[in-house]
Amino acid sequence: MTYLNAGEWDRAAVLAAVRERAAEPPAAAAAAPVYVPDDHTTVAEFLRTPGALTLAERKVIARQALLLLEQNYAHLPLKVSMYGINPLQRLRLLLARAERQTDATMDPEQRFHQELLSVFTSLHDLHTTYELPTPYAEGAAFLPFRIEQYAENGEPRYLVAQVTHPDRIPEPVRATFVKGAEVTHWNGVPIDRAVDAHGERFAGSNPAARHAIALRSLPFRVFRYHLPPDEDFVTVGFAGLDGRPGELRLPWTLARRTAPAPVLGGAQGLIGLDHEGQEIAELVASLVSRGAAAAASPSDYQERGRFLFRRVTAGGRTFGHVRIKDFKLQPLDTDIFETDAEFAEALRRHVVDFLTILDGLPQDGLVLDIRDNPGGTIVAGEILLQLLTPRTIQPEPAQLLTTPQNLRLARLDPRFARWESSVDRAVETGVPYSEAFPLTTPELANRLGQFYQGPVVLITNALCYSTADIFAAGFADHGIGVIVSVDGNTGAGGGNVVEHKDVIGPLGEPYEPLPRQANLHVAIRRTLRVGEAAGTPLEDYGVTGELYRMTRRDLLEGNPDLMERAAQALAGQLGHRLALSAEPGDATLFVTVESTGLDRVDLYVDGRPRASADLTESPLRIAVHDVTTAGELRAEGFTKDGRLAVTATELLS
């Protein structure tokens, strides 16, 4: 992947694009619904759909799962050690059992799917998944409400965060089962225990992630990743806004996919994504109209690209709050990028959108919020870090498992060519992993440099995954600001994910196509931390932060208490400012430096060091001699202890 043409991505071009974008309305087009309710078919009737997979097709799926995990799965040694599992042997046993069966004696299809799902769930990895074939791939089940968790006196509580279809709530409780009602039981089980029990079916990389994933999916089940619920209906115990107890009994409603699942191959860049999380988000979005969603939210966000943003006043200050929904890059008019040039243009728009938003927000405080962000294109996350810090960004490096098929892949697929020599040497050295190389080029990760100079806070939760994990890790590893974590950890997904067909393309046999729209995803490269945590796998460990528990007010009133906590974190960071202006003279460049909280400034003209001065006053005028022509002036500001605190760049021509 050739990401960018250098001429299109200099600082001047980006600044010009920011000015153009600022004049455009920050509206995002509403997407067509991905799922629609099917009120003519019950989930029970859907379950009675005859099994379609033949015995031969089951063997193909099991063989390919074994091959992919054994030869391509980057986290296999870690998972075997951390969880005491043997997924390869379980797949061999599944295949051996299939070899003893015939089409007449084979297990029911649901049992086959359940066994295979169980193997993948045991990996605790949302990147590495089995996607069920048709008809499951086209269905989902839902209940017409969302549940969220908060804390009261240190104890977990659960409330109805949204009723997506009030008309589907039974008439006797429609007036009491409303937003803000407290959920107490699920099918007769206390709700906290019910969520944890449900979480045992999911593959989260840590307890916080499994709990959060289970809560998210409690009323939303996507059959592509999990079999339909066993129960025909659900009973929900709750307390209304007046505190009176009530009980809701609802059948599951079937929903059908109206569009094919997105294709992630081609000129898409390197992907880090929680596919199931993305699918659930699409299901929920399909069930709620854009207008209803806006009316239900008290946060009053504006939207541009993949970002939601607003001004917030809390803790005695006004600052910017930017939610990054995901790091998904989107073509303008098609479903897939056909060329690298289209991909590069989408990446440029992504960066320009972000900078346009920052340019219109207060400059003395920024809260970035990646809660529930399932990831996306890895470079779309890592490219943003440089805009927030004076430090040189070191992208998170990645490793391949040293196996014969990965060696073939490195030799035949240009995306993996850089890993070839170290995988090849592993035959002699016996090491399980290749050398680590970044997925985002360091040149690209540092091409634009710092734009925003104010203090920054990053808010995370356990549903941040993949590219969102990598973004949070880079934020922490480069000391950009304070991390406030709603769950204490991120989702801990540290890998680059590919689909089964991405491996078939360059390798061919022994890989073979999967039947009936079944699919497999695998984390093919594992990412490592840099900085003080250098060498630590991101997988399973995640990125921790200062723990914060959501309050009832946060869930119902637009996060006011969370914003107060973020304001405290902003106030605890030292402020540094550096601004430049330049006036040319006869072979001398007169530079005026305005600064706050700095002790020294170094000046660079067209990349060459030309002057250094103590910042004894502000503004300070500095004469840079022997300058006849100049295109770019850059300043680095240092604190008294010699720490680089801020950079500023002025384009002179």
**Which pLDDT tens digit goes with each residue over 193-232?**
999 999 888 888 888 999 999 999 999 999 999 999 989 9
Instruction: Specify whether the CB–CB gap between 274 and 202 falls below 8 A.
Output: no
Amino acid at 23: A
Q: Strands of 365-489 (E only): list them.
A: 366-369, 375-377, 397-400, 437-438, 456-460, 482-485
**23 vs 113: CA distance, rounded Å:** 52
Supply 438's token pair. 């970044």
331-347: string of b/e by CB count within 10 Å (b at 16+)?
Answer: eeeeeebeebebbbbbb
- Determine the distance from the C-alpha atom of residue 569 to the mean position of all C-alpha atoms in its chain, rounded to a whole number: 23
R_g over Cα of the chain: 26
Rounded to whole angstroms, how far apart are CA atoms 487 and 468?
15
pLDDT tens for each residue of 489-505: 999 998 999 999 999 99
Entry field: residues in the chain: 653
Confirm if 234 and 520 have CB atoms less than 8 A apart: no
Task: Tell me which fold the domain 577-651 belongs to.
Answer: Immunoglobulin-like (2.60.40)
Predicted local distance difference test score (pLDDT) of residue 183: 98
CATH 3.90.226.10 residue ranges of the chain are: 6-33+289-571
The total of other beta-carbon atoms located within 10 Å of residue 7's CB is 7
DSSP 3-state assignment of 167?
Answer: helix
CA–CA gap between residue 217 and residue 195 (Å, rounded): 9
DSSP reduced 3-state for 63: helix
- Level-2 CATH architecture, domain 6-33+289-571: Alpha-Beta Complex (3.90)
Q: Which of 400, 433, 523, 418 is nearest to 469 (CA)?
A: 523
On the CB side of 491, how many CA atoms lie within 13 Å of its CA?
A: 33
pLDDT score, position 7:
40
Nearest CA to 552 among 146, 152, 147, 245?
A: 152
Count CB neighbours of 462 within 10 A: 28
Look at the block and give the residue holding tokens 């959920």.
183
Contacts of 175 (CB under 8 A, 6+ apart): none
Q: Which of 321, 325, 404 is nearest to 365 (CA)?
A: 321
pTM of the model: 0.94
Residues in the chain with pLDDT < 70? 1-9, 22-23, 25-33, 50-51, 260-269, 289-299, 332-335, 653
Bond from prior residue into 619 cis (ω within 30 degrees of 0)? yes
What residue type is assigned to position 255 of the chain? A
Give pLDDT, residue 52.
81
Residue 266's pLDDT is what? 44
Contact 637, 578 (CB under 8 A): yes
- DSSP-H helix ranges across 386-499: 404-412, 420-429, 442-445, 467-477
Is 25 strand, coil or helix?
Answer: coil
Whole-angstrom distance, CA of residue 308 vs CA of residue 317: 20
Q: In the chain, list all ranges with CATH 2.60.40.10.
A: 577-651
CA torsion, ordered 637, 642, 645, 647, to nearest 10 deg: 30
CA distance 335 to 291: 25
Angle in degrees, 0-180, between the axes of helices 109-121 and 87-99, rounded to the nearest 10: 160
pLDDT of residue 629: 87
Q: Could you please report the per-residue DSSP string of 159-211? A: EEEEES-GGGS-GGGTTTS-TTPEEEEETTEEHHHHHHHHHTTS--SSHHHHH
Note whether 324 and 369 are within 8 A (CB).
Answer: yes
Q: Which amino acid is at 522?
A: V
Say if residues 129 and 73 touch (Cβ distance below 8 Å): no
**Judging by DSSP bridges, how do beta strands 317-324 and 366-369 pair with one another?**
parallel
Closest C-alpha to 15, from 464, 347, 348: 348
Residue pair 319/362 in contact (Cβ under 8 Å)? The answer is yes
Nearest to 576 by CA among 372, 414, 391: 391
